[in-house]
Amino acid sequence: MKENIKHRIHQLRENLHAHNHQYYILDSPIVSDQKFDQLLKELADLEAAHPEFFDANSPTQRVGGGITKNFETKSHRYPMYSLDNTYSKEELSDWVTKIRKIIGEGTLMTYTCELKYDGASISLTYEKGQFVQGITRGDGQQGDEITQNLKTLPTIPLQLQGNPPDYFEIRGEIVLPWEAFKRLNQERESKGEPPYMNPRNTASGSLKLQDSHEVAKRGLHCFLYALAGDALPIHTQFEALEKARKWGFKVPDSAKHAHHIEEVFAYLDHWEKQRSKLPYEIDGVVIKVNELPLQKVLGHTAKSPRWAIAYKFQAEQIETVLESVSYQVGRTGAITPVANLRPVLISGTTVKRASLHNADQIAKLDLRLGDVVRVEKGGEIIPKIVSVSESQRGLESDTVVFIEYCPDCNAPLERSEGEAQHYCTNSMTCPTQLVGKIQHFISRKAMDIEGIGSETVVQLYEANLLHTIVDLYQLDPAAVLRLERMAEKSVQNLFQGIEASKTQPFPKVLFALGIRFVGETVAKTLTQYFKSIENLKNATLEDLIEVDEIGERIAQSLYQFLQNEKHWNQILELKRLGLQFEIETRSEPLHDELAGLKFVVSGVFEKFERSEIKTLIESRGGKIVSSVSKNTDYIVAGAGMGPSKKEKAESLNIPIISEDQLVILIETTS
């Protein structure tokens, strides 16, 4: 009986995988939706009754339902490089000239042209034909694992067809089609919620939703375009696309194998005109050297492959009327002017606002209310005004003059020498700054407080329960419970998260304070050097600048913050409440085998994660620095180390060692 059930489950899975492929990859379904749903329900019922036959890649896993509270950061085995951009055929011809100088004028070279999808880049890993992991691009060296969410996308095969390699990665783009984007915004507007800005950012945000069931409902698509692996059975990029299609991946048939640059130009001209007819957003074309051996010869710069380039289409521009200018306050007090426009349709979305950046931009455009302005939507979340129609100007009396006082608290604005933006001087009581600072403080990269989100911060602030980060640790549970949508369990989770945050280490606390220019890396550097908040406060400007990678701008901002009596009193109160403001001292003596040595860690490693290597070095007294200089003692290099770092290290005679050699170095010195 068990064997019969197991066989039926296996049969259903195979059939459903095949039907998914026919429907989502080939666009040619061979069964009705009703029949598919019946088969899926039968499988779900059998799996529920027989959990011993669970399969992580079963078609039933696509419906989602798993909750991911924290997305683990993982290294890419093969780095995901960004692309250099070009905006004209002349620049594209220059690129061809440069690479021909490297490979030789007489070498046969062709091109693959592919549409540049405007979405979120991801890397998928397959082992023995099974989908095992999906990671966001991140910084190209490491990203967030979002496997559970990606399994909900029917255009990502969970089980491959044919005879794929035992192990490989495939890169692709997650896009949100226009139709699904419009549907999402209609749903949001019906609930009184603000619409999403554009498909690209909505797609990216959808991938990081904690509830995979919600991801499944978004209507995301995945287009695949590049294979990565060792000794793969392919010789050209175009062949890689064809193989991927045969293995079951959604590879658009819009790609073209161009034998000479004139064919590339013809491809660009075609899609420049036709892109508006596509059901999803593209912002250009990617041109690659087709022959993989030539790609290896050309190699990479520190950030980009030399064998590929992105040709960006001219951003769509359209005229409309400037109706008013409003001003937004950021959490650091930065004031950003925003143009409010007569609504106009650009690239499929209705545009009502455009960024004006700062006072200089307003003066440069000589803006007046009522001006007819030309608006461009060129890869920015908020479009921008590029010019004013000289023949259709507003009245001179309606010239836009940058404000002198904060629109939220009426405090005077100030603009420091050499800076583009004005800032509100009231950092302690300006409402928008206060809410923004608290939202930053609770965020994942800062104090990572579970049970409270940005909307809850606003709710607590409006209820007069929360005005500063200190108030977080003095909230009254009974008062919070009285608020709307605050059930007993959610309040309990909120207070557990706040209490747990007291164990966050000093570097995270310093970053969470939201000091201008003090990011995660700077906070870690400062806390490792000064050890305690008291030492930081007592440091002079000269002391701060002497620290590696701490420039005058960072030092000045930090010094002014800590010398401000109100800020310092807030820090003392947070310390009294139990937050960590010093580096923990260990009861056992520190290892000091690498004391005084400075290391740059670069590339992807086989035996350790990069973070583990850095921890190993620091636990032995060594210091991690981000850039190569004459003061660097060693480079610990893995696969994909940037050639510029390598060249600089060699020019300065700095030893480049592997992860194994690092271990030997520690053992030898001890």
pLDDT tens digits, 70-100: 788 888 989 898 888 888 899 999 999 999 9
- Between residues 211 and 219, the one the model is more confident about: 219
| pLDDT of res. 394 | 92
- Between residues 76 and 51, the one the model is more confident about: 76
Cβ atoms within 10 Å, residue 88: 11
Using CA atoms, how far residue 68 sits from 180, 397, 474, 501, in Å, is 24, 55, 29, 19
Supply angle C-alpha 361, 365, 368, rounded to 5. Answer: 110
pLDDT digits (tens, 9 = 90+) for 324-345: 999 999 888 999 999 999 998 8
Average pLDDT, the chain: 87
| pLDDT of res. 558 | 94
The percent of the chain in helix, strand and coil, each rounded to the nearest 5, is 40, 20, 40
Are the CB atoms for 173 and 163 separated by under 8 Å? no
Angstrom distance (rounded) from CA 247 to CA 78: 21
Which phi and psi angles does 295 have, rounded to 5°? -60, -40
pLDDT over 80 at 369, yes or no: yes
- Helical residues (DSSP H) of 104-161, grouped into ranges: 147-150
Local confidence band at 589 (pLDDT 50, 70, 90 cut-offs) = very low
- Between residues 640 and 473, the one the model is more confident about: 473
* Average pLDDT rounded to a whole number, residues 413-432: 89
pLDDT over 70 at 69, yes or no: no
Are the CB atoms for 628 and 635 separated by under 8 Å? yes
Question: What one-character DSSP code corresponds to residue 639?
Answer: B
Angstrom distance (rounded) from CA 124 to CA 114: 19
* Average pLDDT rounded to a whole number, residues 488-508: 94
Q: In terms of Cα–Cα distance, which of 624, 607, 617 is closest to 660?
A: 607
pLDDT over 80 at 351, yes or no: yes
Give the bridge partners for 319, in sequence order: 374
| pLDDT of res. 587 | 43
pTM of the model: 0.53
Least confident of 21-25, 233-237, 424-428: 21-25
| pLDDT of res. 478 | 93
Q: In terms of Cα–Cα distance, which of 124, 102, 100 is closest to 110?
A: 100
* Average pLDDT rounded to a whole number, residues 451-455: 89
Are the CB atoms for 611 and 604 separated by under 8 Å? no
pLDDT over 50 at 193, yes or no: yes
Are the CB atoms for 218 and 180 separated by under 8 Å? yes
Are the CB atoms for 138 and 73 separated by under 8 Å? yes
Catalytic residues: 116
* Average pLDDT rounded to a whole number, residues 55-72: 65
The residue written with tokens 């100030």 in the block is 414
* Average pLDDT rounded to a whole number, residues 590-612: 79
Least confident of 195-209, 377-391, 653-667: 377-391
The answer for residues whose C-beta is within 8 angstroms of residue 478's C-beta and 6 or more apart is none
Are the CB atoms for 111 and 264 separated by under 8 Å? yes
* Average pLDDT rounded to a whole number, residues 518-530: 87
Question: What one-character DSSP code corresponds to residue 653?
Answer: T
Q: In terms of Cα–Cα distance, which of 189, 84, 59, 75 is closest to 137?
A: 75
| pLDDT of res. 68 | 61
Least confident of 107-111, 194-198, 292-296, 393-397: 194-198
* Average pLDDT rounded to a whole number, residues 351-357: 88
Angstrom distance (rounded) from CA 112 to CA 102: 19
| pLDDT of res. 650 | 87
| pLDDT of res. 96 | 95
pLDDT over 80 at 435, yes or no: yes
Least confident of 52-66, 342-356, 397-411, 458-472: 52-66
| pLDDT of res. 381 | 52
Angstrom distance (rounded) from CA 357 to CA 336: 6
Angstrom distance (rounded) from CA 648 to CA 625: 15
Please tell me whether residue 472 adopts helix, strand or coil conformation: helix
Angstrom distance (rounded) from CA 13 to CA 630: 60
Least confident of 65-69, 314-318, 337-341, 647-651: 65-69
- DSSP per residue, 400-447: ----SB-TTT-PBEE--TT-SSEEES-TTT-HHHHHHHHHHHHSTTTT
Local confidence band at 63 (pLDDT 50, 70, 90 cut-offs) = low
| pLDDT of res. 529 | 84
**What is the percent of the chain where pLDDT is above 70?**
91
Are the CB atoms for 502 and 579 separated by under 8 Å? yes
b (16+ CB within 10 A) / e for 217-245: bbebbbbbbbbbbeebebebbbbbbebbb
Q: In terms of Cα–Cα distance, which of 126, 133, 132, 122 is closest to 167?
A: 126
Angstrom distance (rounded) from CA 101 to CA 109: 12
Using CA atoms, how far residue 147 sits from 24, 134, 158, in Å, is 19, 5, 11
